[in-house]
Amino acid sequence: MRRVELEWIVGRYNYLIFIALALIGFYAMIAKKNLIKKIIGMNIFQTAIFLFYISMADIEGRKAPILVPGVEEYVNPLPHVLILTAIVVCVSTTAVALSLIVKIYQKFGSIEEDEIMEMMK
Amino acid sequence: MSEKMVESVVARTISRIIIPFIQLYGIYVITHGESSPGGGFQGGVILGTSIILFGIVFSLNTTKKWISKKILILFMSLGLLIYSGIGAIDMLFGGKYLEYGKLPLPLHSPEMSALSILMVEIGIGLCVMSTITLLFIFLAGEKSGTRMDSWEI
Amino acid sequence: MNIIQNLPILVVIVPLIASFCMPIIGLFRRRYCFYLTLITNFLILIFAMLLLNYVINQGEIHYYLGNWEPPYGIEYVIDHLSAFMIILISFIAFIMTIYSKEDVENELPTNAPLFYTLFMLLTASLLGIVSTGDLFNLYVFLEIASLSAYTLVAVGKKKDALIGSFNYLIMGTLGACFILIGIGFLYLVTGSLNMADIALRLPSLYSSHVVHAAAIFFVVGLSIKIALFPLHVWLPDAHAHAPSTISVFLSGLVLKVGAYAMIRVLFDIFTVEFFVNTLPIAEVLSWMAAIAIIAGSINAIAQKDIKRMLAYSSVSQMGYIALGIGLANTPGIMGSLLHILNHAFMKGCLFSAAGAIIHKYKIRNVHQFKGLGKKMPYTMAAFSIAAISMVGAPPFGAFFSKLFLALGAIESGKWIFALIILISSLLNAAYFFSILERAYFTKLHDEEIEEAPISMVLPTFILAMGCIAFGVFMFILEPFLRDIATSLL
């Protein structure tokens, strides 16, 4: 087994933070009982994926992908464009989820999942 | 948030001054999407935020007198139709979908693309502004009778 | 404008523009929304038939959006499999539009423009998923379809529809996020998002751990979308409490499009030797599918609510399709594709008939179906045809799909799957024939005929005729499906 050197961690900390955030978000989505906490977990999970895409685009020593006269080398702009679309999708999903929670609270009177399951039986 | 003006004098005065500047900034972000961070979605959210600020500080009824729900729904569909319409018009003139070079205007191809992308971004900004504002109006109007599951205009 | 050459994008853009126009029309005249939906769906059906005709006679269509060459631009590819799915989606969308008139007036009288907006968005995004040749475009259309589906499920009458829709939202978003991570991994190693381009660059990278991880993320994410056995928990609530039109769409089309995405990703991007030899994905898929077939049927027998029973039956039938993908030989894939077609029609007919019964008599409990054979003769006739077809009796359609799946199981040497198909046919017979017995052989006092409205009975009957037709006309379908299967392998 390879020795985990400091160089290995410092060189890849973006991806390690992506894994940590994704697991935190995933745990919150499935294990928490409050519906709002599930939506927060969903947002954390999707933010972790955006972090992964953007850190995939980075090339060492190049500038941000905005056209400035005098700069010739830019970072890969394609993942940035993909993330713009993915952020819109994430915002729409959160909007639908929050509207559903407002309606659930009106009809059921609580937003804890186990209480709602009791009422559904 | 329903009938009375709830906020203090400071909030009302500051928002009266600041809301036009927020809207100007939103239009700036929409139109400068190609040379600085921004674009249709981001600028549309900023424009929508200005209307939401108005709705929070002054009452929701005053907001509905300023911009009615009919206009917002009209803008929402209009913005999306601008985007798809530009793509479809390109098909009518012999190009593929969203091939901006074939529009019947006497400009060369990169400038034609830039102009079309600007129009498309304005369409997107219009749609996003209306959507964010409509979300706020429907969700905030629950207590005072704007029921979320009725289509009352 | 050359219509034939532009068809791949027209089939997506026309329902999309119709959906954008719907709120404006809803502001002025509410009744015209239904007519716009009807005309648009009819137009798409004509486009789909033109497309199928062109693809059979002259081969694939490649369409570059904005005239940018791939791999820089987005490419739309229509080959035989895509044309097959397009005509399935457009036909069922058209039939269900006729069905939805009474249903929408009954379930949400004031909100018809919103319903039709989401309905056209759902149709447009399903057509977009099957037409596209670009991975990220697939993800975006998949998310549009899922968002429309979540909202349409929440429109149902009972308040259980809301929590069913919320659970569907959480699990569906999890699946889509996994697919997005998989796309990210594939982009990381190949540098391209075009499906054909990735398929060219991938074979030299089969030993890389990133490609293994990408394949696993894709399979798990798509399994959530098609409700394969351990990940099916969102399906019963969502399909049972949705309005009847949407139940048909969900069970009949949204699940199938997920299966189409799995076939594309597993057979076109990761070729067969990867997911059979390098990673044992095919083994795991076929065993999970076998468990899904048995567990779905057993759960369905225990249900009392008719729509919940049909939802569990969907879990079992999606197991058949996944079994065909997992077997990965020609009869297996032919069985999967034929079952996609048959199950859309059979389950569509069953859900439509159940919806007609609920609309007319407000009964959902299976034990209250006594004497319905005399009271609603046409609806129960269609229900019986679809039920017998689901069990797998010979002249009807599903017999041939189960036959091909069993042949595929025997050809790859795994006899136990053929045995499981047989056992599950018996289990299907158990719960369907109990309904038929109560409907036809139990006498009630008053037996005059009180049918559901004609706009609900006619689509049900057309779908039932489709079930018979696909069995009888197998000799036309079989060479077409064999072409698709051999081109995928």
Residue A26: is its pLDDT beyond 70? Answer: yes
For the residues A70-97, what does the mean pLDDT come to?
91
Look at C159 and A107 and tell me if their CB atoms are within 8 Å.
Answer: yes
From chain A, the residues in CB contact with C234 under 8 A are none
Q: Establish if A50 touches chain C: CB-CB under 8 angstroms.
A: no
Can you list the residues of chain C whose pLDDT is less than 50? none
> What pLDDT is stored for residue B151 in this prediction?
53
The answer, for B74 touching chain C at a CB cutoff of 8 Å, is yes
Q: Which runs of consecutive H residues, i.e. helices, occur in chain A?
A: 6-11, 13-31, 35-57, 78-108, 113-120
C-alpha dihedral sign at C46, C47, C51, C54: positive
Q: How far apart are the first and last CA of chain A?
A: 52
Enumerate the β-bridge partners of residue A34.
A112
Q: Which residues of C touch B84 (CB under 8 A)?
A: 13, 16-17, 20
* Cβ atoms C169, A97 nearer than 8 A: yes
Contact C170 A38 (CB under 8 A): yes
Q: Where are the beta strands (DSSP E) in chain B?
A: none
Q: What is the pLDDT of residue B153?
A: 45
pTM above 0.90, yes or no: yes
First vs last Cα of chain C: how many Å apart? 36
Distance from CA of B122 to the nearest CA of A (A): 16
Is A79 close to C159, i.e. CB distance below 8 A?
no
Domain A6-120 has CATH 1.10.287.3510: yes
Inter-chain CB proximity C166 and A79 less than 8 Å = no
Q: Which residues, at least 6 apart from C119, have a Cβ–Cβ distance to it below 8 Å?
A: C37, C97, C100, C148, C152, C245
What pLDDT, on the 0 to 100 scale, is given for residue C352? 92
Please tell me the distance from the alpha carbon of residue C285 to that of residue C226, in angstroms, as a whole number: 12
Q: Which residues pair with C365 in a beta bridge?
A: C305
What percentage of chain A exceeds 70 in pLDDT? 97
pLDDT at A28 over 50: yes
Chain B residues near residue C111 by CB distance under 8 angstroms: 149-151
CB-based contact A56 C166, cutoff 8 Å = no
Per-residue b/e over C146-170, b at no fewer than 16 CB within 10 Å?
bbbbbbbbbbbeebbbbbbbbbbbb
Nearest residue in chain B measured CA to CA from A98: B139
What local confidence, expressed as pLDDT, does residue C271 receive? 84
User: Could you tell me the pLDDT band of residue B145, with boundaries at 50, 70 and 90?
Assistant: low
Residues of chain C with C-beta less than 8 angstroms from the C-beta of B151: 26, 110-111, 113-114
C-alpha B72/C-alpha C126 separation (Å) is 28
Using the predicted structure, report yes or no on whether residue B146 has a pLDDT greater than 60. Answer: no
CB–CB of B41 and A103 under 8 A?
no
Taking the CA atoms of residue C260, residue C265, residue C268 and residue C273 in that order, the dihedral angle to the nearest 10 degrees is: -120
Looking at residues B97-121, what average pLDDT do you find? 80
What pLDDT score does B152 carry?
52
CA nearest neighbour of B74 among C122, C36, C124, C28 = C28
Mean pLDDT of A42-61: 92
- pLDDT score of A71: 81
Residue with tokens 């429907």: B138
Please tell me which residue of chain C has the smallest CA distance to B89.
C1
How far apart are the two ends of chain B, measured CA to CA in Å? 19
Residue B41 structure tokens: 């979605």
Residue with tokens 């569509």: C348
Which residue in C1, C9, C23 is closest to B77 by CB distance?
A: C23
- Based on C-alpha coordinates, what's the Rg of chain B? 19
Say yes or no for a CB contact (<8 Å) between A29 and C174.
yes
Q: Among B37, B39, B148, whose Cβ lies nearest the Cβ of A103?
A: B148
Residues in A touching B37 (Cβ below 8 Å): 66
CA–CA separation, C149 and A94 (whole Å): 15
Q: How confident is the model at residue B5 (pLDDT cuts 50, 70, 90)?
A: low
According to the model, what pLDDT value does residue B48 have?
Answer: 94
Distance from CA of C89 to the nearest CA of A (A): 24
Q: What is the pLDDT of residue C446?
A: 65
Check if the beta carbon of residue C15 is closer than 8 Å to that of residue C51.
no
Tell me the mean pLDDT in the region A37-45: 96
Residues from chain C contacting residue A96 (CB–CB below 8 Å): 147, 150-151, 169
Question: Collapsing DSSP states into helix, strand and coil, what is residue C166?
Answer: helix
Q: What is the pLDDT, as a whole number, of residue B2?
A: 47
CB C289 within 8 A of CB C326: yes
Nearest to C160 among A42, A101, A120 (CB): A120
DSSP assigned state of C368: G
Q: Choose among C24, C108, C111: nearest Cβ to B77.
A: C24
Band (pLDDT 50/70/90 cuts) for residue A52 is: very high
Count of other CB atoms within 10 angstroms of residue C376: 24
CB pairs under 8 A between A and C: 60
**In the predicted structure, residue B124 carries a pLDDT above the cut 50:** yes
Q: Is C64 helix (H, G, I), strand (E, B) or coil?
A: strand
Q: Does A103 touch chain B (CB under 8 A)?
A: yes
- pLDDT above 60 for B105: yes
The SS3 call for residue C61 is: strand
